[in-house]
Structure 1
């Protein structure tokens, strides 16, 4: 049994996948159909591919983990409203790439109503879509659009007994992404576990850190823990940014040496069963904050803690972000880094010069998960089941008008937070962020 097997949450059950499909079908007109393609293998170089990762929307509705599949939803169809097309069984290829489920296996393992192998796809799709008026598909997916256009051309060319021209196209993603925004208990358990793995990895990196290591060596510590604990690897490209590299928000080179007296910013999270963790911590390479580093770090930490306390049903991400900017401005003014001279509001200076990103994003099957941030033109209110990040930061440029001790310092602190009926749950609380706790953990090495 794997070392971590007893602590792992169970996978999403077949009934939950059925409920998800039912909810989407119930939101569609009776004469509609959904066409949703899976991900395909992507070439890395010449004849080798990147590790396969299923399309998040496709996974959300099916749980099916093979490439080159197609999910078709058909409201009201007597023979079954959910049809899957999948790779043909091919014993010769399976020797090289592993066993395929095939149509029978897909029905049995995934609770699909009907499944057919891809060799039958084109002919059967024409039959399945006959009489359907609107085809819902991801309009941003070029391959899905090409297939839909081909199907529409064939249906239009067929003799009809009056009636509308078949297959007008509509975008399925707003309906599906609105559904994905609210997480079930099973999804929250997976996100909680991804957060726990991610937190343990950050703790491991803190213990391992010392001057002279390379950024990529801390990256190796993180990603070893991701895999050791049963994750599939990083949920996104890991950021390990020492010193001034922390001022590059999406720094992923991870090549430089970690220097005594500098900070290192790590933004990294594990993926577990396709659900993402996303944590940022900033800590001293040598295990001890300098007075200036500590003072600036405490400004960000206070803003982050107050933002987390503000997470509850009914508030908005905009309001939380505005609170963070106010707290950062107040902290910088207390350190005499920022002054209120009456020409420009301190909050505007912070947003323009020291904090150029938002405080939060949705989290789920994608690290920047789907769902709109506004409804009817207004910031949407948080509701239970939403999962967000809280990640304020300060990035001090190397400018002559700033106190020398603060120049070139980049700090970000990020946790994953689930909105609950009473307030919120921090899913990544197991990794320390108080100065004393960070220094104590780094002493353990």
Structure 2
């Protein structure tokens, strides 16, 4: 699939952000730098999501300035071309090519930024940047302000008197996905769904959890998603009760369930799927009972994914199903209404129902407004819906339930009249899973 987010859209995003800023202000967003893995080798480079959202530029060590004065404009500072460096590490765009390629208004050599920033900040009243994320950027802004303060006695030109966090404005833009973003995310979901179909035909007793992760990664990469969006979770048996289990080092056992939580990252955007299925291709009766309970909870949550509803209402719908089900099974004792009211179900459903999804797997965006009220769903929001039940081996319940962990997770985009499940093609019902595992 070709790149589907054109430069015009990145330019439009920059213009939208400028419109959210007050007059005589500047926003600064920095690219990530490469990170040393060991000695003279680096981890695979992954761009800062905010910087990528505004530029589509995937090189390290760059800074974007958005200046809102009498002539609103974008200025990119990036690394210059360097043939000696490029022969070892690959081509750079270079600032002289950035204007045409990235549709920014101007571009300059990154090395000149410490000298140029005080000049650009003259007359600027407010500076915005993502606070707490990049100490180098914060130091650059602080040094430029100090320099302007010293010079102000003679020049009369002050620097910004206000420093503010840029994330509220950026997060609000990123929360609503464009049609192009949704198209990319659907491709990430398609690749991930295909990978889940692959592993359901691969697993069997005696294979290792890490081999399942390798099959997923292979399918991702063969379809253009070179990296997983996050650390792959492959938890067999009781390992599924560890929410962020990433050791992936144990053998698969006959009779156990395998919980797999994984998603491809495609063109910067994440998918995030969880499926739980039997190693031997056949659910036992206790496994099937708990599995159908979690599936029923997800369906209840889906009914609340629509404009005007919110994540709190969806979470309560799922929790009510799980609470009542666990009470009926005797896993929770006492009255069903009291168990729900006292949130005793949280002993076994121990995480939230879902989260925003986008350039980050746990994407940006508030869940409540400044008054503490839940943010209402709007078309273009993308989120996961992932109820689960986890009963550790130490639980004081009937032994047939112990060591079972189940989570079912799909990626949905809110539409004008409900939602679109982008990961629906990953087998999910017991019948679908067992039929698919037997057919290959």
Task: Tell me the TM-score normalized by structure 2.
Answer: 0.96
What displacement does 1:335 show?
2.4
1:174 aligns with one of 156, 165, 168 = 168
User: What SS does structure 1 have at the residue aligned with 2:420?
Assistant: strand
The range that moved more, 377-386 or 152-161, is 152-161
1:331 partnered with 2:328: no
The range that moved more, 337-346 or 365-374, is 337-346
What displacement does 1:165 show?
5.2
What is the alpha-carbon distance in structure 1 between the residues aligned to residue 159 and residue 138 of structure 2? 17
Q: Identify the residue that residue 435 of structure 2 maps to in structure 1.
A: 440
Q: Identify the residue that residue 152 of structure 1 maps to in structure 2.
A: 145
User: 1:154-233 to 2 correspondence within 5 Å?
Assistant: 154-159=147-152, 160-162=154-156, 166-233=160-227
2:298 aligns with one of 290, 301, 304 = 304
Q: Identify the residue that residue 47 of structure 1 maps to in structure 2.
A: 40
Q: Identify the residue that residue 404 of structure 1 maps to in structure 2.
A: 399
The range that moved more, 82-91 or 350-359, is 350-359
What displacement does 1:308 show?
1.4
Contact 1:326 1:347 in 2 (8 A): no
Contact 2:191 2:223 in 1 (8 A): yes
What displacement does 1:143 show?
1.9
Structure 2, unmatched stretches of 5+, are: none
Question: 1:30-69 CA distances to partner (integer Å, 9 max, x unpaired)?
Answer: 1101111111101111110011111000001111110000
Q: Identify the residue that residue 386 of structure 1 maps to in structure 2.
A: 381
What displacement does 1:164 show?
5.2
The range that moved more, 382-391 or 136-145, is 136-145
What is the alpha-carbon distance in structure 2 between the residues aligned to residue 188 and residue 350 of structure 1? 37
User: What SS does structure 2 have at the residue aligned with 1:40?
Assistant: coil
What is the alpha-carbon distance in structure 2 between the residues aligned to residue 163 and residue 258 of structure 1? 68
1:251 partnered with 2:250: no
Q: Identify the residue that residue 125 of structure 2 maps to in structure 1.
A: 133
Q: Identify the residue that residue 53 of structure 2 maps to in structure 1.
A: 60
What displacement does 1:441 show?
1.1
Contact 1:325 1:350 in 2 (8 A): no
Distance 1:152 1:32, change over 3 A: same
Structure 1, unmatched stretches of 5+, are: 1-7
Question: 1:262-321 CA distances to partner (integer Å, 9 max, x unpaired)?
Answer: 000000000001100000000000110001101110000111122112210000101111
Q: Identify the residue that residue 315 of structure 1 maps to in structure 2.
A: 309
Contact 1:69 1:84 in 2 (8 A): yes
2:82 aligns with one of 83, 90, 101 = 90
What is the alpha-carbon distance in structure 1 between the residues aligned to residue 320 and residue 79 of structure 2? 54
Question: 1:194-249 CA distances to partner (integer Å, 9 max, x unpaired)?
Answer: 11111111111111000000000000000101101101210000000000000000
The range that moved more, 311-320 or 142-151, is 142-151
What displacement does 1:18 show?
1.1
What is the alpha-carbon distance in structure 1 between the residues aligned to residue 366 and residue 343 of structure 2? 28
Distance 1:44 1:347, change over 3 A: farther
Name the count of aligned residue pairs. Answer: 437
2:6 aligns with one of 5, 13, 26 = 13
User: What SS does structure 1 have at the residue aligned with 2:68?
Assistant: coil
Contact 2:124 2:159 in 1 (8 A): no
Contact 1:155 1:166 in 2 (8 A): no
2:66 aligns with one of 73, 79, 85 = 73
Q: Identify the residue that residue 136 of structure 2 maps to in structure 1.
A: 143
Question: 1:121-149 CA distances to partner (integer Å, 9 max, x unpaired)?
Answer: 22222222111111111111222211111
What displacement does 1:9 show?
5.7
Distance 1:400 1:14, change over 3 A: closer
What displacement does 1:392 show?
0.1
Contact 2:339 2:345 in 1 (8 A): no
Question: Considering only aligned residues, what root-mean-square deviation do their CA atoms show, in Å?
Answer: 1.6
What is the alpha-carbon distance in structure 2 between the residues aligned to residue 26 and residue 410 of structure 1? 47
What is the alpha-carbon distance in structure 2 between the residues aligned to residue 154 and residue 226 of structure 1? 49
Task: Tell me the TM-score normalized by structure 1.
Answer: 0.95
What displacement does 1:28 show?
1.0
Contact 2:114 2:140 in 1 (8 A): no
User: What SS does structure 2 have at the residue aligned with 1:254?
Assistant: coil
Q: Identify the residue that residue 24 of structure 2 maps to in structure 1.
A: 31
